[in-house]
Amino acid sequence: MIGATINRTKSGQIQSFTISGHAGFADRGSDIVCAGVSAVSFGAVNSVITLTGVNPQIEQGADGFLHCVIPDGLSESAQEKVQLLLEAMVVSLQTIEQDYGKHIKITFKQ
């Protein structure tokens, strides 16, 4: 199962997220759940970098591990853009979870 943890600040902004694990929906290379989660999460990170100029701290590892931390001290404008992109990622992940809940679990932490 893929685990996605979204870490929010007390004010509700996304500060970081971590995704790890494998969906186990199908064989490697044919797993649409893994492919969807990867596309959504990496697309969000790439969008943050390209569209806002913000460079988050990114860590990748084995077993589908991705950890992304948004830096502190962003301008209000940059923070708004980053948050919109990350909230869009969350909506997309929740859509995948609705259809494939046995293969992905999203957890929110504050």
Sign of the four-CA dihedral 67, 28, 2, 43:
positive
| Location of structure tokens 């929740």 | 94
The answer to whether 22 is a known catalytic residue is yes
78 is in which domain, residue-wise? Answer: 2-109
Catalytic residue among 22, 67, 68, 103: 22
Report the pLDDT value the prediction gives residue 64, as an integer from 0 to 100: 83
The answer to whether 103 is a known catalytic residue is no
Report the pLDDT value the prediction gives residue 62, as an integer from 0 to 100: 84
- Domain at 37, CATH number: 3.30.70.1490
Question: How many independent structural domains does the chain possess?
Answer: 1
Is the per-residue pLDDT at 98 higher than 90? yes
Catalytic residue among 34, 67, 68, 103: 34
**Confidence band of 74 (pLDDT split at 50, 70, 90):** very high
**Angle at the Cα of 96 (from 94 to 99), degrees rounded to 5?**
110
Residue type, 25: F
Q: pLDDT for 18-65, tens place per residue?
A: 999 999 999 888 999 999 999 999 999 999 999 999 999 999 998 889
Most distant CA pair in the chain, distance: 44
d(CA 89, CA 95): 10
Report the pLDDT value the prediction gives residue 63, as an integer from 0 to 100: 80
Report the pLDDT value the prediction gives residue 89, as an integer from 0 to 100: 98
